[in-house]
Chain A
Amino acid sequence: MEVRFAEPSVLILISLAGGPKHGYALIKDIEEIAGAALGPGTLYGALSRLEQRGLVEPLPAEERRRPYRITAAGAEAVQAYLEHTRQVADLGLRRLGAAHA
């Protein structure tokens, strides 16, 4: 059974938290950290929404590859999201542990 964690925007923000990246580098990094192979349309759809919300910002393009970096608001948003997810996951694991005990 394949387990897919998190949505594209969260994966993008987590990847950018490790430093600015352009599209191809993002896809490769997300494959490595989450095992999720995002498509180009999915990646840019999510990137454009994140940029509109001020969660990521573009850096000057290197030829046709433009790197993006996470903003302070983006870091805050993804941290809040991950902490909430951890609380839910902890609770779920405790319940599963109790059920199997």
Chain B
Amino acid sequence: MLDRLIRLYPARWRARYGDELTQLVRDLRPSRPAARLAADLVKGALRVRMQEGLSMGSRNRAVIGRTALVAGLVWLGLTTEIVLTNVVFPTRRDNDTIPVLVSYLCVFAALALVGLLAARAGADARGQLVAGIAAGLAIGALTIATFAVVDNVWLDVVAHQQSKIDGFARSGATSMRAYINQSLAGGAMFLTLAFGAFGAMLSLAGGLAGQSRWTRRPGSGLSDDPGPVAGISD
């Protein structure tokens, strides 16, 4: 019956300590009442489960926070680049190959950074993968949304780009606005999915780098332990 109570502990914890705990319970059984041992095992299992839950919750929050921060900073950078090259310093030729190339490289570096930061926050490979995909999808969708806003708000500026004039002439669309929005709608799916796929690959690579460089520092605190520091009971 006491052995069965050990199943109350989380599987991963049990795989590491289960045999030792079972042996200890058997060693103690002749000298302690079964009910007292059972109560302590149940209390211990609840505490371990609660602690694992808390630790997982705090790990997830850290990964989500870091992923959102990186994706947000990248989006902010891309928005600045899009506004500068399309609105503030527009060119008729729309020749922004170098800024676009640099932007892509920054996005890829950021996706690897998401994996690295997730690994450092304690996420496993699955967590790093999810963080990378989420960051890629978010960056892709937000970038397209930014283009949609910029192109529609400053249509009179972007409509002078030669590439857009040529595209509009070939498209058969009824207006420049309709042509631009059709193009964005087509590109939205491709860019978002492509960034999501790159996010998956690069975050895993970044996670591997993070795991190999990260050495765990042991904590020095004893304060998380149960029980009073110097408890006095009647």
Residues of A within 8 A of B (CB): 1-10, 13, 22-24, 27, 37, 39-49, 53-55, 61, 63-66, 71, 73, 76-78, 80-81, 85
Instruction: Kindly state the separation between the CA atoms of A22 and B39 in the bound complex, as whole angstroms.
Output: 22
Instruction: Kindly state the separation between the CA atoms of A68 and B110 in the bound complex, as whole angstroms.
Output: 42
- Chain B min CB distance to A86 (Å): 11
User: Restricting to B1-25, which residues have a CB under 8 Å from any CB of A?
Assistant: 13, 16-17, 19-25
Task: Known contacts A2-B233, A48-B16, A48-B17; decide if A40 and B37 are in contact (CB<8 Å).
Answer: yes
Chain A residue nearest to B24 in the complex (CB): A23
Q: Are B41 and A40 in contact (CB under 8 A)?
A: yes
- Chain B min CB distance to A42 (Å): 6
Q: Are A7 and B226 in contact (CB under 8 A)?
A: yes
- Chain B min CB distance to A1 (Å): 6
> Which A residues touch B229, using CB under 8 A?
6-7, 85
Looking at the complex, which of B153-161, B205-213, B217-225 is the stretch in contact with chain A? B217-225
Instruction: Kindly state the separation between the CA atoms of A19 and B234 in the bound complex, as whole angstroms.
Output: 32
- B189 adjacent to chain A (CB < 8 Å): no
> Which A residues touch B20, using CB under 8 A?
22-23, 44, 61, 64-66
Looking at the complex, which of B44-52, B75-83, B194-202 is the stretch in contact with chain A? B44-52
- B57 adjacent to chain A (CB < 8 Å): no
Q: Are B220 and A76 in contact (CB under 8 A)?
A: yes
- B172 adjacent to chain A (CB < 8 Å): no
- Chain B min CB distance to A18 (Å): 18
Which secondary structure characterizes the binding site on chain A? Answer: helix
- B101 adjacent to chain A (CB < 8 Å): no
A-B residue pairs in contact (CB < 8 Å), sample of 20: A4-B231, A6-B230, A7-B229, A9-B222, A39-B41, A40-B37, A40-B41, A40-B44, A41-B47, A47-B17, A48-B16, A48-B17, A53-B218, A53-B219, A61-B20, A63-B23, A64-B19, A66-B20, A71-B218, A81-B222
- Chain A min CB distance to B24 (Å): 4
Chain A residue nearest to B48 in the complex (CB): A45
* B27, B47, B217, B222: the one within 8 Å of A45 (CB): B47
Q: Are A77 and B24 in contact (CB under 8 A)?
A: no
- B42 adjacent to chain A (CB < 8 Å): yes
A sample of 15 more A-B contacts (CB under 8 A), given A4-B233, A7-B229, A23-B27, is A1-B232, A3-B232, A6-B230, A23-B20, A40-B21, A40-B40, A41-B42, A41-B44, A41-B47, A45-B226, A48-B16, A54-B217, A65-B24, A77-B222, A85-B230
- B186 adjacent to chain A (CB < 8 Å): no
Chain A residue nearest to B20 in the complex (CB): A66
> Which B residues touch A63, using CB under 8 A?
23
> Which B residues touch A9, using CB under 8 A?
222, 225
